[in-house]
């Protein structure tokens, strides 16, 4: 089973200097690729000089996370792709449990290792933790992370678990499935594109797994630092992925409630003086309305995920019932 590790880069020279030695040292049986979104910081010069064994794919502009991987992976031949952030520290033998799991479970399309904080190694990291889930209104959370409450890794999730979405920070996926689904939705650009892909994986009847045998360490917050843009993309893309993937019987009811909940969030931002965040929500909704017909036409014909959510309303569980840990949640 041939594994290709693909690292998307955009002006990430300092991150490559810090994290590439671990990837090279502990991935000797795998091909390693840098997919470069037209960087201007001499990233590729550094890779070519220091790691001539790494293959570089240079794109003509910054296509974002989704478009960058879509274009770059077309040029990579492998059975399994590992989409790895440039700020992930890997450890010895990290790929072995993952490949074993793929070999033994042909219906598993994607796998996420446990993702821990590279600054506080005994805590999970925000972007993925021990595997991702959703509530019925499209709000995402993880085993080990609900909103901004991040758990210490005490071995409480040291069991392989079917999950709803796997983090794009370290995502292993079968090439055959990635190609079958035409990869990421490049219109997402960044944020929640992996949740959209994972939802489509479920809609095809495949499974996604989080395994504890492999742990990686994520620095986090190393790519998109503009708070307004991040807020805009998260709100907009969340609406897009629900429009594309919700079962038709639930689509309009859930969307209407979610739009109202976003309005509540916008008023909350205003009350806190966070006017740019409120503006981001408004702009996200306008972008959603503008693209509504386009995304409605992108809906698939098969939906295997009538029960796509883990809990009904994570906001109520967290803010009213005070259930701050994944283990506190009562699955619907």
SS (H, E, C) 50-116: HCCCCEEEECCCCCHHHHHHHHHHCCCCCCEEEEECCCEECCCCCCHHHHHHHHHCCCEEEEEEEEE
CA distance 75 to 77: 7
Is residue 299 in some structural domain? yes
Instruction: Look up residue 41 and give its two tokens.
Output: 């910081």
* Structural domain contains residue 113: no
**pLDDT tens-digit profile of 181-199?**
999 999 998 889 999 999 9
Q: Tell whether the model's pLDDT for residue 124 goes beyond 70.
A: yes
Q: Within 13 Å, how many C-alpha atoms sit on residue 122's CB side? A: 2
Residues 17-40: what's their mean pLDDT? 97
Residue 266 located in a structural domain: yes
- Counting Cα atoms < 13 Å in the Cβ hemisphere of 290 gives 7
Sign of CA dihedral 138, 151, 162, 206: positive
* Contact by Cβ (8 Å): 197, 69: no
pLDDT for 303: 61
The stretch 254-281 carries a mean pLDDT of 96
187 occurs within a structural domain: no
- Cα 87 → chain centroid: 14
Q: Given 3-state DSSP classes, what are the helix, strand and coil percentages for the chain, each rounded to the nearest 5? A: 40, 20, 40
Tokens coding 20:
């590439």
Can you give the pLDDT at residue 224? 44
Closest CA to 54 of 95, 84, 80: 84
pLDDT in tens, 35-84: 999 999 999 999 999 999 999 999 999 999 999 999 999 999 999 999 99
Is residue 57 situated within a structural domain? no
- Token pair belonging to 227: 């708070």
By residue range, what is the domain housing residue 249? 227-328
Residue 320 counted as domain residue? yes
Is residue 239 domain-resident? yes
List pLDDT tens digits, range 201-238.
998 999 999 999 999 999 976 444 558 999 999 999 99
Query: How far apart, in Å, are the Cα atoms of 177 and each of 36, 79, 203, 209, 303?
Result: 23, 10, 12, 15, 16
* Residue at 318 is within a domain: yes
- Please tell me the total count of domains within the chain: 1
């Amino acid at each position: 089973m041939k594994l290709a590790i693909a690292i998307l880069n955009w002006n990430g020279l300092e991150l490559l200097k810090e994290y590439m030695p671990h990837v090279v040292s502990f991935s000797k049986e795998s091909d390693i690729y840098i997919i470069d979104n037209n960087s201007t910081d001499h990233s590729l010069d550094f890779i070519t000089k220091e790691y001539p064994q790494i293959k570089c794919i240079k794109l003509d502009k910054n296509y974002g996370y989704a478009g960058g991987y879509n274009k770059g992976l077309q040029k990579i031949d492998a059975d399994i792709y590992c989409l790895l952030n440039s700020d992930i520290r890997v450890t010895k033998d990290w790929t072995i449990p993952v490949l074993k799991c793929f070999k033994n479970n042909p219906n598993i399309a994607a796998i996420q290792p446990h993702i821990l904080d590279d600054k506080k190694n005994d805590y999970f990291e925000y972007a993925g933790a021990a595997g991702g889930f959703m509530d019925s209104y499209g709000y995402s959370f993880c085993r080990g992370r609900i909103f901004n409450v991040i758990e210490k890794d005490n071995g409480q999730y040291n069991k392989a678990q079917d999950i709803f979405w796997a983090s794009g920070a370290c995502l292993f996926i079968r090439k055959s499935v990635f190609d079958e689904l035409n990869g990421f939705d490049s219109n997402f650009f960044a944020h929640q594109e992996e949740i959209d892909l994972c939802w489509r994986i479920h809609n095809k009847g495949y499974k996604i797994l989080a395994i504890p045998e492999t742990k990686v360490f994520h620095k986090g917050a190393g790519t998109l630092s503009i708070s307004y843009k991040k807020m805009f993309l998260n709100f907009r893309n969340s609406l897009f992925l629900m429009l594309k993937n919700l079962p038709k019987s639930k689509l309009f009811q859930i969307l209407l409630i979610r739009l109202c909940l976003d309005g509540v969030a916008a008023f909350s931002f205003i009350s806190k003086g966070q006017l740019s965040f409120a503006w981001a929500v408004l702009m996200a909704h306008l972008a959603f309305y503008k693209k509504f017909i386009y995304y409605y036409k992108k809906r698939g014909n098969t939906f295997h995920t009538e029960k796509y959510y883990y809990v009904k309303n994570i906001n109520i569980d967290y803010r009213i019932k005070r259930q701050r840990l994944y283990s506190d949640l009562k699955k619907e």
